Structure formats: C-alpha cells, structure tokens
Amino acid sequence: MSSQQNLEEEIQEMTSQAKVNHIEHNLVKFIQILRKLGIRISLAESIETLQSLQLIDIINKEEFKVTLRSLLVKNHHEKEIFDQAFDSFFIPQEIKEKKQTQHQEKIEEQEAAKQEASEELKFEKDSVREDVETEEVELELTEKQKEIYSKLDPETKEKIKNYIENSFPGHLRHSSHTKPALERLIGGSLSYWQRRLKEDDDNQAKPPIQHEVTGDLEMDRVIEDVISNLENNSDNLAAKDFKSIPKEDLPQVTMLIKDLSYKLATKISRRFRQNKKTGKIDLRKTIRNNIKYGGNLFELKYKEKKIQKPKFLLICDASDSMARYATFILQFIYGISSVVKDIESFIFSEDLERITDYFTGTESFEVTMNQIITNSQQWGSATDLNTSLKTFKENYMELVTPETNLIIMSDTKTIKLYDAASTLKEIKDKTKDLIWLNTLPKSEWEDLKSVQVFKEMSTMTECYTVKHLQEFAKMKFF
C-alpha cells in the first residue's frame, strides 16, 4: 500500500471521527433541549443513546431519528415534542444560522418593547431644582411587569395611563411616598391584566407544555420553535370537526378535551367553595352562638346563599354518523363529573339505552367506552329520536327534576320529527333548561326543518370541535 493511500485513509478516518464527535456534541445538546421541554431522560438513557451512534448510519437522517425516538420517547405526547424538536434542531447549518439570526432579532424586539414600556410609564413630578419646573421619574418595574405591559393592546395601555392620571391628577407633587405608591398602583393593574392574559391562554384548550429557557441562543430558539409549533397544531386540532380528525391525531384531541375538562372542573370547584366571611350577618345565629361568651359578640355568623351544583342529564345520538361525536361529548361531560351533581347519561339510535352505571366503576374512560360500545345494542344503528324519547318518558321521568339541565347531542335529523318534538316538549317542561348540542355547522341550520323545530324549544349551539365545547362551557357555567 502506497504512502498516498495511507494518508488518504488517515484523513478519511479523522474526518469520520470528527463527524462522530460533532454528532455526539449535538446529541448531548439535543437531549438537554428535550429535558428542558419536560421529557424525563435518565443518565443511563443518555449514555445508551450515545452508544447507539456506533451501530447506525448517522448520515441516514431518518434512521438516526427513529433510533433516537425509540430510546428517548415514552408516550405519544413526548413523541410530538421529540419530532418537533428534532426537525428544528437537526437542520443544515445555513438554515440554522438564519433561524438563530431571526430569533436574536425577536429577542431584541422584545427588549426594545420592554424599554418602550419603561419610557411610557415614566411620570412627571414637581422638581426641587429652581431652574426646571418638573422632572421625569422612572418607575422601578420588574422585567415581568414590563413584558406584560408590552403585550397589551394600545387601548388597554391607554386605560392604564388614564387610571394613573385619575389616581394622581395633574403634575404629581414632590413626595417621598409618591413613587412607591405609583409603583404599587401600576403593579396591581399589571397583575390584573396578567391574569386576564392567562385566562385567554387557558381558553384556547392547549395542552400544558412545561419548559425552561437555557440562556443558550440555539437551544432557546429550538425550545421556542417547539412550543410555538405545538400550540399552533393544537389550535388547528381544536378547530377541527371531530368527524374529520385523522386516527393518528385522536390521542392529542383526547388530551385537549381532558385538559379543558380539568380546567373547567377547577373553575367550577372554586365557585362552589363557600367563603365563611361573606354574606350578611345572621343576627339570630350570632346571638345564639355567643351566649357562651356572656353575650359578647366574639364570633359572627353569616347568612350564605346556598349554591346549587348543576345537575345534568345527557342524551347522546350514537347512530352511525354520530358515534364519534358521542364519544367526545361523553368524555367532556365526565371530565367535570367530580364537581357537578348527579350526571345521568343515555345513548340512542333506534331506541334508548341508559349507560350511567358504566361510569360508576374505577376503570379509565377509554376502557369504559370500549365496554359500552361492545355491549350496546344501539351504538352505530339508525336514528329514531321519537321512539327513544318515548322510552325515556315511560321509564326514566323520575330522574328529571326542576334542577335538571337536559342536554341532547344530535344533528336533529330523525324520522317522525313532529312526534319527537311533541314528546320532547313534555320532557323539557319538567326540566330547568334544555340545551341542544348540534353537530352540524350553523351555516346548514337554515335549510333543515328539524333544526328549526327543535331550536324553538331549546338553547341550540354548534358543537363539533373542541373550541365549541369551550364555548358551551362558558355559556353554561360562566
């Protein structure tokens, strides 16, 4: 073998080793990114992943990706995060540099916005100097407060400024207490708007993605890309018709509904939690309770308005065209079952079936739904709402009380329309409210006689996406 050949082989080996070292460095960074995005990866898993580089063709990007995914990912949610992070991190150098430049520009824009917020929230006060009448004072706001202010729309910013002016009209007099008082005033106002912004985020029904920033420009750029892409994807799924969602996206939609139900249940629970220090004083109970103190009123008793938890009775159309909708609606309703009173559930197609007892066990919702579908005589059959309502009237009317919120989920299409409407009217008169979750787009309602008939006796709302469920929750509970 010639010296030239030896030299070429050494150069090739060194080049190959350099590539491996570069990949190992990037892989360590990539694992750090996944950890910052909330994926738990142990040291042993990291070492095993690094060792796998010796067994695969690292030039083959798809093979490389599949290998890493199989070693680092444990569930569907982590797979989504992994795929987004991989596609954002392992990109050509020129694209990476362009993205990092854009990310740096975005950071600079955010810093400029915060600086602008500082300038806008300066105030004038009377000067102690003789040569000038007033002087500007810059408030000591936190970086978070500046960020919140920079995100507000111009109208809201103007409201805050007017609020300040009304609280401290004209030029503020020189006082050692003015600046701290104004800082507290603005801080309280910004805290309020921070809560409002957070509520708006919660209403988007997005899955919570726990993440941390690192201070590394490249890693933080990837983390921000992943969060942004997943949130946009969640928004798209939240607005998509349940019936047209691909099978591979169903787990994420299920997660969206679970997250929405959890947030709603938390809010409902807070509303039902009675405050012992509110309400009017109950004089009779106060006197009776303080007899032991010789008539001194040490313990006050209050009159409290009794809060009635809502009571639901749900009737879901489980015919062939409605079955998928029924699954999602049932999941949503039972997601808030821990904080509402007595949920009764029925499905119908050619006739009615009561399925309440299926949900009294300890099995997961998925297992319970499999049992219902397997055992049901109605799931996936044709629609006959009239017969189903007659069965309800004959066998289950004792479940209906003046506190019952009757919810029907269906596209309204049925045989014997007017007979069904007449029977439903009799049932509805015994309830507190009748809500119709219509799985047809509103644009189609005007052309359907069935919609017009049932709309006259119910509060009818569109309900074929996660966002519609959110709107229904706001209408019913808040």
pTM of the model: 0.56
pLDDT for position 249: 78
pLDDT given at position 203? 47
Biggest CA-to-CA distance, the chain: 113
pLDDT at 216: 76
- Rounded (10°) angle between helices 217-238 and 76-89: 130
**Intervals of the chain under pLDDT 50:** 11, 14-16, 18, 170-176, 202-207, 274-277
Q: Tell me, what's the pLDDT at 416?
A: 92
Assess contact for 281 and 300: CB atoms under 8 A: yes
Q: What is the pLDDT of residue 213?
A: 62
